[in-house]
Structures are given as structure tokens and as C-alpha cells.
């Protein structure tokens, strides 16, 4: 069974059609990257997958249930671009609070903080953290419930290269243990780290393939270049 199935999804925001009839599946136990330029609809699509986006038509199922179903609450983790942690609690208190919501304890909370490199900052108030640290605290609070599906909206923005590499290794370890990760990014070097890629532009999918397939189709080893070639090819077809 696919972890996520999106069928003919159409989403309007304001007067704009933001997603224009998308259909794709996300396989379980892999890291799928959602790539695309700013404004292409990545966050909107992730919102639809977690069931918080009003959709005009089409459907999204996650683990066989309609997106946003109560049954999915403890099975799907979501990290938005804006960190969602309590500023007036410490990092550890946040992690323990979210752990408690998922029926987990202090041990899991500490493990989640260690996984995002925040063990040393556990006693600090979130309001005193840097932006990148806040983002990691938010990620730890999603990891702590050990969800089967993790939806991450640009989780590595503002992180230094060492931490980014460590987090990607963590994502792959979670996938190897059976979790499904859907991760948005507009950084092409992160695309190369994904098992599969969804390339989104103007609300339409330009590619749904492995990085190797994208490179082969575009005839270049450079993924950024491949993405540009796919855009141009699409524009030529449309012209
Ligand atoms: N609340 C809203 N009301 C109206 N339009 C919106 C709203 N939120 C987003 N949009 C529009 O929807 C489109 C897609 O936005 P979305 O945030 O999904 O893009 P994105 O690919 O995630 O961008 P970024 O990489 O900059 O976060 C944009 O044109 C944006 O202006």
C-alpha cells in the first residue's frame, strides 16, 4: 500500500489556482522530496496531505485513510515552516509535553532532542534560541511521537551544512526503520539525497521519479540543470 495517494487534487487559494489536478503516490519507507521554486505550491500540497487545506476537488489518502482523519493524528507528524513550539517553555519541557501527548515519556523526549542536536540546549527557554535551533526544537517535537508518516516543510532552512547532513542521515535512518518522509525543499543538493523526487512548478508536477531517472530524462548529471531543462521542455510543449 502507498503511504500517500493524491488523486486529481485541485486547490484554490484566494482567486488563484495553486494546485492544478495533481496525481501521484508516495511509497512507504522512503524519503520523497518535494522540490520547486518559491510559490510553486509545496506548502499547500503538504497542508493537503496533513488534512488542513481546503481542497476544491480531488482526494488525498494517507495510510489508507482520508487525509486529516482523526485516526491519523498519532500516525502523521507535521513540521511547518514556522516553528511550532512554546516560547516560554524550555526545549526539554516542549519535548516532554509533546511526548506526553503521544503517550511517550522523558526517555523518548531526550532521544528526539539528541537526534536534532539539541541535547546541549535542553534547559534553555525556546525564546532564547536562534531561528535554526527553534526549527530543530519543532522537528524534535514531531519526531518524539515516532510517526509512521513525517511531513516536513523545509526542515533544514537556516541550518549549517554539518547539521543538514546529520539531519538527512536521520531522515534516512527513519525511512530505513519503515517511516515515510515527505520533505519539501528548494535546495537542489538536498534533492540528490532523496529516494524519489516530486518536482512542482506552478501547481503542476514536472517530474515524479528517482533522482537518477530525472538526470537520465534531462540528459545531465546536475539536478538543478535537469530541473531547468524539464521546465524548458514543458514550456516548449505548451508554446
Ligand atoms: N493564505 C493564502 N491566501 C491566498 N493565497 C495564498 C495563501 N497562502 C499561499 N498562497 C499562494 O499560494 C501559492 C503557493 O504558495 P505555497 O506557500 O504553497 O508555495 P511554496 O512552494 O510552499 O512556497 P515557498 O517555497 O516560498 O514556501 C502562492 O502563489 C501563494 O501566494
Q: Alpha helix locations (H) across the chain?
A: 42-50, 91-101, 106-115, 131-143, 161-176, 188-191, 211-218, 223-238
Residue 68 phi, psi dihedral angles, 5° rounding = 85, 0
Write out residues with Cβ below 6 Å of ligand 1: 13-14, 16, 18, 36, 38-44, 186
* Burial group, residue 161, by CB count within 10 angstroms (0-12, 13-18, 19+): exposed
Q: How far apart are CA 181 and CA 212, in angstroms?
A: 19
CB 35 within 8 A of CB 186: yes
Band of residue 162 on the pLDDT scale cut at 50, 70, 90: confident
Q: What is the pLDDT of residue 186?
A: 81
Query: Sheet holding 149-153: strands in order across?
Result: 76-79, 149-153, 180-185, 31-35, 196-201, 204-209
What is the 38 CA–ligand 1 centroid distance (Å)?
Answer: 8
The rounded mean pLDDT for the chain is 93
Question: pLDDT digits over 10-35, tens only?
Answer: 999 999 999 999 999 999 999 999 99
CB 26 within 8 A of CB 176: no
User: Residues 188-216: what's their mean pLDDT?
Assistant: 92
Q: What is the DSSP string of 20-81?
A: EEEEEEE-TTSEEEEE--TTSSHHHHHHHHHT-S--SEEEEEETTEETT-GGGTTTEEEE-S
Atom of ligand 1 nearest to the CA of 41: 18
What is the 37 CA–ligand 1 centroid distance (Å)?
Answer: 11
* 158 pLDDT higher than 80: no
What pTM does this model have? 0.93
What is the 153 CA–ligand 1 centroid distance (Å)?
Answer: 12
CB 111 within 8 A of CB 98: no
Q: What is the pLDDT of residue 9?
A: 97
What is the 218 CA–ligand 1 centroid distance (Å)?
Answer: 28
The residue whose CA has the least distance to atom 7 of ligand 1 is 13
CB 25 within 8 A of CB 6: yes
CB 198 within 8 A of CB 205: yes
Which residue from 43, 78, 202 has its CB within 8 A of the most atoms of ligand 1, so it is best to mutate?
43
Around Cβ 199, how many Cβ atoms within 10 Å?
Answer: 23
Q: What is the pLDDT of residue 151?
A: 97
The residue whose CA has the least distance to atom 6 of ligand 1 is 13
Question: pLDDT digits over 79-122, tens only?
Answer: 998 888 999 999 999 999 999 999 999 999 999 999 888 999 99
Question: pLDDT digits over 181-194, tens only?
Answer: 999 998 888 899 99
Residue 209 phi, psi dihedral angles, 5° rounding = -165, 175
CB 172 within 8 A of CB 31: yes
Q: What is the pLDDT of residue 42?
A: 95
The residue whose CA has the least distance to atom 2 of ligand 1 is 13
Alpha carbon 11 to its chain's center: 19
Residue matched to cell numbers 508554446: 239
Question: Which of 54-58, 151-155, 212-216, 234-238 is least confident?
Answer: 234-238
Q: What is the pLDDT of residue 233?
A: 85
The residue whose CA has the least distance to atom 11 of ligand 1 is 13
What is the 234 CA–ligand 1 centroid distance (Å)?
Answer: 22
The residue whose CA has the least distance to atom 31 of ligand 1 is 39
What is the 89 CA–ligand 1 centroid distance (Å)?
Answer: 30
The complex's ipTM works out to 0.95
CB 56 within 8 A of CB 12: yes
Question: pLDDT digits over 73-89, tens only?
Answer: 889 999 998 888 999 99
Q: How far apart are CA 199 and CA 24, in angstroms?
A: 11
Q: What is the pLDDT of residue 2?
A: 92
Amino acid at each position: 500500500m502507498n503511504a500517500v495517494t493524491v488523486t486529481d487534487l485541485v486547490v484554490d487559494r484566494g482567486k488563484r489556482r495553486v494546485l492544478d489536478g495533481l496525481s501521484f503516490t508516495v511509497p512507504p519507507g522512503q524519503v520523497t522530496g518535494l522540490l520547486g521554486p518559491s510559490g510553486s505550491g509545496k506548502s499547500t500540497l503538504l497542508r493537503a496531505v496533513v488534512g488542513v487545506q481546503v481542497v476544491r476537488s480531488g482526494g488525498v489518502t494517507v495510510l489508507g485513510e482520508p487525509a486529516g482523519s482523526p485516526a491519523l493524528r498519532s500516525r502523521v507528524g507535521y513540521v511547518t515552516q514556522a516553528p511550532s513550539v512554546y516560547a516560554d517553555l524550555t526545549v526539554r519541557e516542549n519535548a516532554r509535553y509533546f511526548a506526553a501527548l503521544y503517550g511517550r515519556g522523558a526517555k523518548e523526549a531526550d532521544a528526539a532532542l539528541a537526534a536534532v542536536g539539541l541535547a546541549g540546549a535542553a534547559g534553555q527557554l525556546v525564546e532564547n534560541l536562534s531561528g535554526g535551533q527553534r526549527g530543530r526544537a519543532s522537528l524534535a517535537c514531531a519526531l518524539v511521537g515516532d510517526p509512521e508518516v513525517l511531513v516536513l516543510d523545509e526542515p533544514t532552512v537556516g541550518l549549517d551544512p554539518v547539521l543538514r547532513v546529520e539531519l538527512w542521515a536521520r531522515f534516512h535512518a527513519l525511512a530505513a526503520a519503515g517511516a515515510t518522509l515527505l520533505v519539501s525543499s528548494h535546495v537542489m543538493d538536498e534533492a540528490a539525497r532523496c529516494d524519489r523526487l516530486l518536482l512542482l512548478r506552478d501547481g503542476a508536477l514536472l517530474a515524479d521519479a528517482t533522482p537518477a531517472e530525472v538526470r537520465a530524462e534531462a540528459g545531465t548529471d546536475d539536478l538543478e540543470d535537469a530541473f531547468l531543462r524539464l521546465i524548458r521542455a514543458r514550456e516548449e510543449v505548451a508554446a
